[in-house]
């Protein structure tokens, strides 16, 4: 069973491997991070942990039994009971219900442990799988936006409302 954990320093090698192995896959849906991201990864990872320590962001990894990262689930710009959810799954893990599982778990953490009341998420219109994950986990479309020149759909989820998202990762 995959496990969702809060990002720590010990995750750095597995996260870097995840990002490298899935770089081309991710670039199909979002702008590539660029070579500098990989060259400066250690410093960036440390900076993320600093942001997390300050409480402005909450970063998570979904790992398999061997510790390989299957996905990343991040809450950024945490303020006034709201945060933006972002996530990415490894190409080989797509289509197995793991993204829904991760989003559900992060929504639970956001509400129960971080005290958040509302999450916002954006998915590219060209990424129907991500749009479906958001719909299936209780997010409601809230208008089109453009990110990186790409048309996207903004979604909102009220964490105070009781919804049935059902199911679990298989």
Query: How open is the CA angle 2-19-64, to the nearest 5 degrees?
Result: 15
Helices 12-21, 41-54: axis angle to 10 degrees equals: 120
- Cα–Cα distance list, 30 to 24, 94, 123 (Å): 10, 16, 9
- DSSP E strand stretches across the chain: 3-6, 58-63, 69-79, 82-89, 118-124, 140-147, 150-158
First to last CA, the chain: 8
The residue among 60, 57, 48 whose CA lies nearest residue 78 is 57
The per-residue DSSP string of 92-114 comes to GGTTSSHHHHHHHHHHHHHHHTS
Q: Which two tokens stand for residue 60?
A: 């998570």
Q: Which residues of the chain have pLDDT under 70?
A: 162-170
The pLDDT score that the predictor gives to residue 164 is 47
> How far is the C-alpha of 122 from the C-alpha of 141, rounded, in Å?
9
Give me the residue spans of the domains in the chain. Answer: 3-158
- Give residue-wise pLDDT tens across range 39-64: 999 999 999 999 999 999 999 999 99
The single residue listed with the structure tokens 């991070």 is 33
- Looking at residue 146, the DSSP 8-state letter turns out to be E
pTM of the predicted protein model: 0.89
Q: Which two tokens stand for residue 78?
A: 């945490």
The residue among 105, 97, 114 whose CA lies nearest residue 169 is 97
Classified by CATH at the fold level, domain 3-158 comes out as: Aminopeptidase (3.40.630)
């Amino acid at each position: 069973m995959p496990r969702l954990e809060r990002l720590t320093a010990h995750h750095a090698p597995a996260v870097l491997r995840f990002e490298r192995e899935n770089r081309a896959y991710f670039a199909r849906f979002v702008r590539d991070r660029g070579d500098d991201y990989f060259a400066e990864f250690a410093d960036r990872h440390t900076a993320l942990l600093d942001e997390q320590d300050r409480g402005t962001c909450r970063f998570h990894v979904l790992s398999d039994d061997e510790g390989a990262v299957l996905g990343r689930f991040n809450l950024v710009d945490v303020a006034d009971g709201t945060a933006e959810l972002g996530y990415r799954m490894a190409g080989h893990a797509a289509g197995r219900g793991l993204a829904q599982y991760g989003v559900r778990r992060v929504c639970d953490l956001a509400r129960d442990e971080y005290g958040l009341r509302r999450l916002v998420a954006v998915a590219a219109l060209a990424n129907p799988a991500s749009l479906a994950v958001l719909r299936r986990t209780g997010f409601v479309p809230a208008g089109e936006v453009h990110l990186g020149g790409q048309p996207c759909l903004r979604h909102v989820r009220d964490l105070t409302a009781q919804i049935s998202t059902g199911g679990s990762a298989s």
